[in-house]
Copies of this chain bind each other. A is one copy, B any other.
Amino acid sequence: MSKPTARDRLAQAAFDLFAERGYEQTTVDDIAERAGLGRATFFRNYRSKEDVIFPDHDQLLEQVRDRLRSASHGTALAAACDAVRLVLLHYLDEGELARRRYALTSTVPALRDREIVSVARYQRLFREYIAGRTAGRGEPAELPAELMAAAVASAHNHVLRRWLRGEAADPVRELDAAMRQVILLFAAHVPDGDGTAVVAFRTSRPLEDLVPAIQQILEPEER
């Protein structure tokens, strides 16, 4: 095992103190002292007390962006489904630390809000990427891109949350299954346009649920 870095020691000390005293009651000085380090070392590693808690979303967002840029085949949606794996893998790599953060963010509203904002940044990145790649393909790209990005982000969060709660034994496999659901959802998606394809569905849904949709496909309203 490699020796923990100052950064790791500070994070560890912070989480210990948050658990013992509560987040609000813990100061930067408390954290540095517990880690056996100085205040200056703290601020060389983190901008604030809040920063100790969160992973480096800026860096992770850049990795996701790079992954999207390097996608060489397949649809924009498939590229987003692939790139979001990096986010899950990052949390899995953090292991117990990620779970401690989840427990903490669940009880401190300001931290929970920051987590929500981080998630929104991934969703926005996916939306812009998908809209950019599908623009000019003959259908309005914005709403589909919005829906696809929301699906990728929310399906990922669903699996991540299950893992954070200890409910997912094999989160990578669950993510793959969830992303297949997302791709399937939009593969069957019907853009406006000409031509007709017939798709065979295996479904337990009552036919009456499907009839309005079929009518709308065959006799689309003016928009």
Contacts from A to B (Cβ < 8 Å): 75, 113-114, 116-117, 120, 123, 138-139, 142-143, 146-147, 149-151, 153-155, 157-158, 177-178, 180-205, 207, 209-210, 212-214, 216-218, 220-221, 223
Q: In the complex, which residue of chain B has the Cβ closest to the Cβ of A188?
A: B188
Q: Chain A: interface secondary structure?
A: helix
Contacts of A186 in B (CB 8 A): 185
B217→A191 contact, CB < 8 A: no
| Bound-complex Cα distance A220 to B216 (A) | 27
Identical chains in the assembly? 2
Query: How far does the Cβ of A36 sit from chain B's closest Cβ, in whole Å?
Result: 34
A185→B147 contact, CB < 8 A: yes
Contacts of A157 in B (CB 8 A): 146
Query: How far does the Cβ of A167 sit from chain B's closest Cβ, in whole Å?
Result: 10
Query: How far does the Cβ of A204 sit from chain B's closest Cβ, in whole Å?
Result: 3
A138→B204 contact, CB < 8 A: yes
Extra 17 A-B pairs, beta carbons < 8 Å, given A123-B154, A192-B204: A113-B117, A116-B116, A143-B178, A146-B157, A180-B221, A187-B212, A190-B202, A191-B203, A193-B203, A194-B202, A195-B202, A197-B203, A198-B199, A199-B210, A199-B214, A200-B217, A200-B218
Contacts of A196 in B (CB 8 A): 200-203
